[in-house]
Structure 1
Amino acid sequence: MNRGKITSFLVPLISVLLGVLVGAIIMLFIGQNPFIGYWALLDGVFGDIYYFGEMLRMMTPLILAGLAVAFAFRTGLFNIGVEGQLIVGWLASVSVGILVDAPMIIHLPLAIGAGALAGAIWGLVPGFLKARFYVHEVIVTIMMNYVALFVSNYIIRTYLLVPGERTDRIHATASLASPFLQSLTDFSRLHYGFFIAIFACLVLWFLLWKTTLGYELRAVGYNKHASHYAGMNVNGNIILAMVISGGFAGVAGAMEGLGTYGYMSILAGFTGVGFDGIAVALLGANTSIGVLLAAALFGSLKVGAPNMQSQAGIPPELVDIVIALIIFFVASSYLIRLVINRLQKEGK
Structure 2
Amino acid sequence: MEKLNKILKKQITATVIAILLGFVVAMLILAFTGYNPFEAFGILFKGIFSKPKYIANVIIKATPIIITGVSVSFAFKVGLFNIGAEGQYVIGTVAATMAGILAAGLPGVILYPLVILSGMAAGAIYGSIAGYLKAKYEIHEVIVGIMLNWIAFYFCNFIVSTNRFHQPNSTATKDISDKAFDFIYTWKKSDAGKAVLKENDTLKELIYKTDMNIGILFAIAVAIIVAVILKRTCKGYELRAVGFNKHAAEFAGINVRKNILHAMLIAGALSGLAGALMVTGVSHKISTLGTFENYGFNGLSVALIAGNSPIGCIFAGLLFAGLIYGGGSIQSEIGAPSEIINIMIGTIVFFIALSRLVPMIADKLTKRGEGRA
Query: How would you bin the TM-score normalised by the shorter chain?
Result: over 0.9
In the TM superposition, what is the alpha-carbon distance from 1:174 to its structure 2 partner?
Answer: 1.0
Higher alpha-carbon deviation: 54-63 or 160-169: 160-169
Residue in structure 1 matched with residue 351 of structure 2 by the alignment: 329
What is the RMSD computed on CA atoms of the aligned residues?
Answer: 1.8
Residue in structure 1 matched with residue 122 of structure 2 by the alignment: 118
1:199 aligned residue (216, 221, 226): 221
Q: For 1:20 and 1:5, how far apart are their aligned partners in 2?
A: 20
Q: TM-score, normalised by structure 2?
A: 0.89
Residue in structure 2 matched with residue 166 of structure 1 by the alignment: 172
Matched, 1:296 2:335: no
Correspondences of 1:180-219 after superposition (within 5 Å): 183=204, 185=206, 187-219=209-241
The unaligned stretches of length 5 or more in structure 2 are: 198-202
Correspondences of 1:309-348 after superposition (within 5 Å): 309-343=331-365
Residue in structure 2 matched with residue 64 of structure 1 by the alignment: 67
1:36 aligned residue (21, 35, 39): 39
Contact 1:177 1:258 in 2 (8 A): no
Correspondences of 1:232-251 after superposition (within 5 Å): 232-251=254-273
Matched, 1:135 2:139: yes
Higher alpha-carbon deviation: 120-129 or 224-233: 224-233
Q: TM-score, normalised by structure 1?
A: 0.95
Q: For 1:85 and 1:5, how far apart are their aligned partners in 2?
A: 36
Q: For 2:369 and 2:305, how far apart are their aligned partners in 1?
A: 27
Q: For 2:152 and 2:267, how far apart are their aligned partners in 1?
A: 16
Highest Rg: 1 or 2? 2
1:145 aligned residue (149, 158, 179): 149
Higher alpha-carbon deviation: 208-217 or 275-284: 208-217
In the TM superposition, what is the alpha-carbon distance from 1:142 to its structure 2 partner?
Answer: 0.8
In the TM superposition, what is the alpha-carbon distance from 1:184 to its structure 2 partner?
Answer: 5.0
1:175 aligned residue (177, 181, 185): 181
Contact 1:165 1:265 in 2 (8 A): yes
Percent identity of paired positions between Structure 1 and Structure 2: 39
Q: For 1:344 and 1:257, how far apart are their aligned partners in 2?
A: 53
Q: For 1:94 and 1:333, how far apart are their aligned partners in 2?
A: 41
In the TM superposition, what is the alpha-carbon distance from 1:269 to its structure 2 partner?
Answer: 1.2
Task: Give the match's secondary structure for 2:213.
Answer: coil
| Deviation sequence 1:324-348 (CA, Å, 0-9, x none) | 1111111111223333444455567
Task: Give the match's secondary structure for 1:160.
Answer: coil
Contact 2:65 2:317 in 1 (8 A): yes
Residue in structure 2 matched with residue 262 of structure 1 by the alignment: 284
Q: Aligned partner of 1:183: which letter?
A: K
In the TM superposition, what is the alpha-carbon distance from 1:104 to its structure 2 partner?
Answer: 2.1
| Deviation sequence 1:117-150 (CA, Å, 0-9, x none) | 1111111111111011110111100111001101
Relative to structure 1, the CA distance from residue 74 to residue 36 in structure 2 (aligned partners, 3 Å threshold; closer, same or farther) is same
Contact 1:76 1:220 in 2 (8 A): yes
1:47 aligned residue (41, 47, 50): 50
Residue in structure 1 matched with residue 80 of structure 2 by the alignment: 77
Q: Aligned partner of 1:85: which letter?
A: Q
Residue in structure 2 matched with residue 91 of structure 1 by the alignment: 94
Residue in structure 1 matched with residue 299 of structure 2 by the alignment: 277
Q: For 2:212 and 2:125, how far apart are their aligned partners in 1?
A: 28
Q: For 1:35 and 1:5, how far apart are their aligned partners in 2?
A: 28
In the TM superposition, what is the alpha-carbon distance from 1:319 to its structure 2 partner?
Answer: 0.5
Q: For 2:366 and 2:28, how far apart are their aligned partners in 1?
A: 29
In the TM superposition, what is the alpha-carbon distance from 1:4 to its structure 2 partner?
Answer: 7.5
Q: For 2:69 and 2:121, how far apart are their aligned partners in 1?
A: 18
In the TM superposition, what is the alpha-carbon distance from 1:19 to its structure 2 partner?
Answer: 0.5
The unaligned stretches of length 5 or more in structure 1 are: none
Contact 2:92 2:274 in 1 (8 A): yes
Residue in structure 1 matched with residue 14 of structure 2 by the alignment: 11
In the TM superposition, what is the alpha-carbon distance from 1:258 to its structure 2 partner?
Answer: 1.1
| Deviation sequence 1:56-92 (CA, Å, 0-9, x none) | 0011001001001000000111110000000000111
In the TM superposition, what is the alpha-carbon distance from 1:229 to its structure 2 partner?
Answer: 2.0
Task: Give the match's secondary structure for 2:10.
Answer: helix
Relative to structure 1, the CA distance from residue 62 to residue 5 in structure 2 (aligned partners, 3 Å threshold; closer, same or farther) is farther
Q: Aligned partner of 1:147: which letter?
A: I
Relative to structure 1, the CA distance from residue 187 to residue 282 in structure 2 (aligned partners, 3 Å threshold; closer, same or farther) is same
Residue in structure 1 matched with residue 200 of structure 2 by the alignment: none
Residue correspondences, number: 348
Task: Give the match's secondary structure for 2:19.
Answer: helix
Q: For 2:346 and 2:81, how far apart are their aligned partners in 1?
A: 19
